[in-house]
Amino acid sequence: MSKNFYALAATLLLLSVVSCGMTFVPSSFQPGLPANGSLWKTLSMFMLLLGLVSTLIGSMSHLFEQVDRRTEERRRAEREKRRKKS
């Protein structure tokens, strides 16, 4: 699950860099695109923010998955100890 969030974050961060780069391109090279630089900067900031949030969610979900996995391994080890004692 966390890999999906990491992929989403990477995509959003890449698009954020592209949007930020569009502010430096003159309007004559963008015939069908918005030429307003502040629009590109705003879009870039929103994508950057979403990418960072996606990275945070991916990191947290990875940590919780790891805790669940270790808890389950500990339970199995305790069950095996009880079975061997019996």
Q: Tell me the whole-structure pTM to 2 decimals.
A: 0.76
pLDDT, greater one: 24 or 35: 24
Q: Is the pLDDT of residue 41 over 80?
A: yes
The reported pLDDT for the residue numbered 66 is 94
The reported pLDDT for the residue numbered 30 is 66
CA distance to 14, 56, 62, 86, per residue, from 69 (Å): 32, 20, 10, 26
